[in-house]
Amino acid sequence: MKKARAVTSIAFLVILFLQGKQAKEGSDDSRALIHGKEDALEVHCSRERSRVAWKIIEDYLTPFVEQAHYQIPIKCRLHHDNDIFRDQEEHKVHVDTNEWQCSYCKKSFYAEKFLDQHFDSRHYDLLNVNGSKCLADLCGALHCDHVTNTKLRKTKCNPAAVARNRHYCESLADNCFPINQGPSASRLHEFFLHQFCDAHTCSGKLKPFSRGGKKETSVLYLATAILTLMLLPIFYVIVFLHQRDENEGPGS
């Protein structure tokens, strides 16, 4: 009888031990999950403004950099590896007007903002959070508000903010295009100052992107080209008929 009680007690202790171990493992998993979500929430970087900054770089800087056959150094904040959202953004597929797809898991969404939310909740572990990676921090230097029209044109100019943005803009030119790195870097350094930095003034006389940007085929241009192609044969027919009438003349 005593032996049976001893066996029962040992079995009971073993069961308690196993349950305690499983509970601990579950607790550890929960803490890991919560920790992961907390890490995701600690990424204080605007995806929308980062996207605007990247668009500005792509449209108003990259074409000229490629034309000069220049490689932007990775230490430069404008380098594509220094965008926390770059990998996620490159895994977006715009299938149709109302369909966006995540190429990580092939899920589809009605709008881009829902795909962004999906990235934030399901693929936050793929963010590049090492170092200074927030492109939105460059928005002051790159004139994001000018592109998005988020600030009223009649807003009073803040000289301190303008000076701060200009200084940051010039530091980007120095770090990304060091003038001692050869002719291409020197020319791009001057270009960057004119394209982005000179417009940081309260006078309002200089506008950003004064050197132009990526050439895109507009709808108006396409419509004009199509209309021209349609009217050109009619024009030639009219000219031909007019010349024929003149050649025949009244006495022919």
Number of alpha carbons in the 13 Å side-chain half-sphere of residue 146: 17
Tell me: pLDDT of 137 over 70.
Answer: yes
Single out the residue of 217, 122, 116, 201 nearest to residue 158, CA to CA: 201
> Can you tell me whether residue 32 is helix, strand or coil?
helix
252 vs 80, residue with greater confidence: 80
pLDDT at 133 (0 to 100): 83
pLDDT for res 88: 94
User: What's the rounded mean pLDDT across residues 183-207?
Assistant: 94
Beta strands in the chain (DSSP E): 92-96, 99-102, 108-109
Q: Is the pLDDT of residue 55 over 90?
A: yes
Write down the pLDDT at residue 142.
97
Using one digit for the tens of pLDDT, what is the confidence trace for 94-136? 999 999 999 999 999 999 999 999 999 999 888 877 766 899 9
Mean pLDDT across the chain, nearest whole number?
Answer: 81
Closest by CA to 84, choosing from 44, 41, 30, is 44
Q: Is the pLDDT of residue 83 over 50?
A: yes
Closest CA to 208 of 152, 153, 142, 155: 142
For residues 198 and 170, give the distance between their C-alpha atoms in angstroms, rounded to a whole number.
9
CB < 8 Å & 24+ apart, contacts of 111-118: 116/47
Tokens read off for 79: 């380098």
pLDDT at residue 28, rounded to an integer:
37
pLDDT at residue number 222: 62
The reported pLDDT for the residue numbered 246 is 72
C-alpha to C-alpha distances, 9 to 1, 6, 13, nearest whole angstrom: 12, 5, 6
Strands of 92-96's sheet in order across:
92-96, 99-102, 108-109
139 vs 39, higher pLDDT: 139
pLDDT value at 147 more than 50: yes
Of 11-20, 167-176, 199-208, 213-222, the least confident: 11-20
pLDDT tens-digit readout, 13-39: 555 454 444 444 333 333 333 344 444
